[in-house]
Copies of this chain bind each other. A is one copy, B any other.
């Protein structure tokens, strides 16, 4: 971090996950989140907000170290709930972890009153982070990650992905409103890779059905991942059909539900084996009903979005290698 600058990390993953940790910690192992958590206490930047209290809580850490007390001793507001975050003044650095591991999908968050009370949205965390960072009066670097978009893509979870993309868009709105009031701020929006290549596909005569089919995703009340938490190998076709209907509003035929049950028990029919786990099998079947389909379940080599607004934005080239963004950030900070 440039001398005199302060920093913040906001994410819907564990706050020690690869994307935030890549900005602050050094580790050979991305999975050593307990070690990364220990580094976070040493680094002591102004804002940590996300999931993953299991890596900080002495009752859950393998070494029983109490990092939460460590943050309190360093003067942090240590937060565990949305109410605590929203009522927090800007006079302290923030350490908030709102779930044991990753934060739930937005579609599940929106449809569960208990989760709505306990867990803030990405936009709310972004607002709290900017309020604290602005209060310091110093230059700052804040990373805000909509992490569940990637998680949803890995299992072809359409309501998971769409609602978390919208939640990320809300967080971008918070950043752009801040930028409008503080025009010396640079906002960069990007992602580190493609994932599973979701698309809205043309279906029906003259591709005329796609909009109507896609609107079904907007009416779904559970992520496919949450639904999968309630299915099991011994259930009947009728029970599975009912479970899927309750979460998605879509009534599968007996043969469609049978394919999902096969996938739950062993594997689904997709000849591309990366897509024959149970949730992607459900997703492939629901693609017929929603017009949202996917090419796989892993990262892809696709070009991705990169946009920027504020000082330095116009010096960003139209195309660049993702690792070159590091040099761009350094140049912008050096000029600031």
Binding site for B on A (CB under 8 A): 194, 197-203, 207, 210, 256, 259, 268-274, 281, 284-285, 287-288, 293-296, 298-303, 305, 307, 318
Residue of B nearest to A319 (CB): B307
Give Cα A308–Cα B44 distance, bound, in whole angstroms.
Answer: 46
Given contacts A274-B293, A293-B295, A318-B307, contact A302 B269 (CB under 8 A): no
Q: Which B residues touch A295, using CB under 8 A?
A: 197-199, 201, 293-295
Give Cα A271–Cα B318 distance, bound, in whole angstroms.
Answer: 38
Whether A301 lies near B210 (C-beta < 8 A) is yes
Whether B300 lies near A200 (C-beta < 8 A) is yes
Whether A300 lies near B201 (C-beta < 8 A) is yes
Whether A272 lies near B299 (C-beta < 8 A) is no
Pick the contact of A284: B270, B302, B318 (CB < 8 A).
B270
Known: A203-B274, A271-B287. 16 other contacts (CB 8 A): A197-B199, A199-B295, A199-B296, A199-B302, A200-B300, A201-B274, A201-B295, A201-B296, A259-B271, A270-B270, A270-B271, A271-B288, A272-B285, A273-B288, A274-B293, A293-B295
Whether A271 lies near B284 (C-beta < 8 A) is yes
Whether B272 lies near A284 (C-beta < 8 A) is yes
15 contacts between A and B (CB under 8 A): A197-B293, A199-B301, A199-B302, A201-B298, A202-B299, A202-B300, A256-B271, A268-B271, A269-B269, A271-B281, A271-B285, A272-B284, A287-B296, A293-B296, A307-B318
Give Cα A256–Cα B274 distance, bound, in whole angstroms.
Answer: 15
Q: Which B residues touch A198, using CB under 8 A?
A: 197, 295
Give Cα A201–Cα B296 distance, bound, in whole angstroms.
Answer: 7
Q: Which B residues touch A271, using CB under 8 A?
A: 256, 259, 268-270, 281, 284-285, 287-288
Give Cα A301–Cα B290 distance, bound, in whole angstroms.
Answer: 13
Residue of B nearest to A301 (CB): B200
Give Cα A285–Cα B210 distance, bound, in whole angstroms.
Answer: 27
Given contacts A295-B294, A307-B318, contact A199 B300 (CB under 8 A): yes
Q: Which B residues touch A199, using CB under 8 A?
A: 194, 197, 295-296, 300-302
Interchain nearest-CB distance for A107 vs B (Å): 20
Given contacts A199-B295, A199-B296, A295-B295, contact A272 B301 (CB under 8 A): no
Residue from A273, A274, A300 having most chain B Cβ neighbours under 10 A: A300
Q: Which B residues touch A307, using CB under 8 A?
A: 318
